Structure 1
Amino acid sequence: MNNKTLNLLDAGQNARVIQVKGKGPSRRRLLEMGMVPGVILSVTKKAPMGDPVDFKLKGYNLSLRKQEAQMVVVEALGGIK
């Protein structure tokens, strides 16, 4: 498996969510936004310094700060680079 955190993916890559780390409101917020294990997402845009990162999942766009993206462990599935 090629597991890494969400912030390390490049624009155009697809991934499957494996785990959402952390506790409390930050973790709950990510889960409520659809970052649940098994969901497939794609990285649509990434700012030059890596903050924020834009994703598409479950038919909608989501933007996360680098700190939030580091809480999501994903399996990279490939995609356009």
Structure 2
Amino acid sequence: MQLSDLPKGAQAVVHTVEDAHPDDLIARRLRDLGFVVGETVRVVARAPLGGDPLLVQVGYTRFALRRNEAARVLVRQEATA
């Protein structure tokens, strides 16, 4: 599932960051920011009407991402207890 499709408040684990093309600077920057395999992420807030941006938390840090940037991050949603 893409991070951009994760429901508000849902938590997931990063599976991979997809490169849109060779030497993809946005994908590299996402990895540098902490979107790495095994890291827990959560969608904190969404813009109204499904627009930009998404407020995403990685660890204790929050980032505002455009939907197309968040779509590059593939995640596995954690089972709820």
Do Structure 1 and Structure 2 share a fold, with TM-score over 0.5? yes
RMSD: 1.3
Identity %: 32
User: Which segments of 5 or more consecutive residues in structure 1 lack a partner in the other structure?
Assistant: none
Q: What is the TM-score when the length of structure 1 is the normalising length?
A: 0.86
Larger radius of gyration: 2
Equivalenced residues, count: 76
What is the 5 A alignment of 1:51-62? Answer: 51-62=52-63
2:17 is matched with which residue?
A: 20
2:8 is matched with which residue?
A: 11
User: Which segments of 5 or more consecutive residues in structure 2 lack a partner in the other structure?
Assistant: none
Work out the CA distance in 2 between the residues paired with 1:13 and 1:45. Answer: 10
Q: What is the TM-score when the length of structure 2 is the normalising length?
A: 0.86
Deviation at 1:50, TM superposition (A): 3.6
**2:67 corresponds to 1:70:** no
